[in-house]
Structure 1
Amino acid sequence: MAQSILHMALVVKDYDEAIEFYTKKLNFILVEDTYQPEQDKRWVVVSPSGSGTAILLARASNHEQEAFIGNQSGGRVFLFLRTDDFWTDYKEMVSKGIEFVREPTEQSYGIVAVFKDLYGNLWDLLELNETHPMYFRDTGSDEF
């Protein structure tokens, strides 16, 4: 039986500002934006180009949920954006005003830097090296 993670929910303050950030600053694709009248909310899905995993941008619907905007993982890195060209993506993100809170470093698994999304959630931007066990995932190779 094959399984995969299809979507991850990310609590946001506003659909449109989140769409703007993810599509314009991170170059994600807007996969779906469908109004659901029975719940008075939208089903908004964005995804990095070529990725099988997507993020559901879920607008906070009460004060309890609002408290988690920007702190979904208690201050730890929450999401990991993999790239096959770290320096090109890093330079483009910096030029678009993305705030990096940890500068790029070479690690045993590849190159990594930590940035904030529009609400303050922490992300890793990383390029894995060929020796990492996840390197062949999503590269078109059937090796793993």
Structure 2
Amino acid sequence: MINKIGKITIYVNNQDDAKKFWTEKLNFVVKLEQSMGPMTWLEVGPSESEFTTFVLYDKKMMLAQNPSANVNHPSILLSTTDIEKSYNEMKENGVEVGELMIMPYGKMFSFKDQDNNEYLLREDK
């Protein structure tokens, strides 16, 4: 059966802008970047050792390949062990962040990427 989450595709307007956002503002690393004909396969992850990656896939390219594809942004929840540090680092890096919420079930905040897609970061200790 399934034992890991491998890749999550995020459809983006511009792969270069998305790459800069994830690597420069969130300190992700490029795990794979390979030309595939008219497109580039681009994967980023939180570290070299992390198995799960985001595939940053061009929206227009996907719609050209499959006009009925749903390229709306998926709901993605990321994890951290130090929410306050992550919140402050993202703000310092110019990331648009929401209010840091302290709920009975944990701490979290939302943030937006270069295409205005929204994510949620929660503290998991």
TM norm structure 2: 0.84
| Counterpart for residue 57 of structure 1 | 56
Structure 2 distance, partners of 1:51, 1:104, is: 26
Q: Deviations over 1:60-112 (max 9, x none)?
A: 214758x94xx414xxxx21121111111110100111112x31111233210
**Which residue type is aligned with residue 73 of structure 2?**
Q
Q: Secondary structure at the match of 1:72?
A: coil
Matches within 5 A, 1:15-54: 15-37=15-37, 40-49=38-47, 50-54=49-53
Work out the number of aligned pairs and report it.
120
Contact 1:109–1:128 under 8 Å retained in 2: no
**Which residue type is aligned with residue 83 of structure 2?**
F
Q: Secondary structure at the match of 1:94?
A: helix
Structure 1 distance, partners of 2:55, 2:84, is: 27
Structure 1 residue corresponding to 2:79, chosen from 78, 82, 100: 82
Q: Which has the higher contact order (CA 8 A, sep 6+)?
A: 2
**Which residue type is aligned with residue 15 of structure 2?**
Y
Structure 2 residue 116 is the aligned partner of structure 1 residue 120: yes
Q: CA RMSD in A?
A: 2.2
| Counterpart for residue 73 of structure 2 | 72
Contact 1:7–1:55 under 8 Å retained in 2: yes
Structure 2 residue 98 is the aligned partner of structure 1 residue 98: no
| Counterpart for residue 109 of structure 1 | 105
Structure 2's unaligned 5+ residue stretches are none
Q: Secondary structure at the match of 2:90?
A: helix
% identical aligned pairs: 29
Contact 1:111–1:127 under 8 Å retained in 2: yes
Structure 1 residue 2: Cα displacement:
4.8
Q: Secondary structure at the match of 2:110?
A: strand
**Which residue type is aligned with residue 40 of structure 2?**
R
Structure 1 distance, partners of 2:107, 2:77, is: 12
| Counterpart for residue 139 of structure 1 | none
Higher helix share: 2
Structure 1's unaligned 5+ residue stretches are 130-144
Structure 1 residue 128: Cα displacement:
2.2
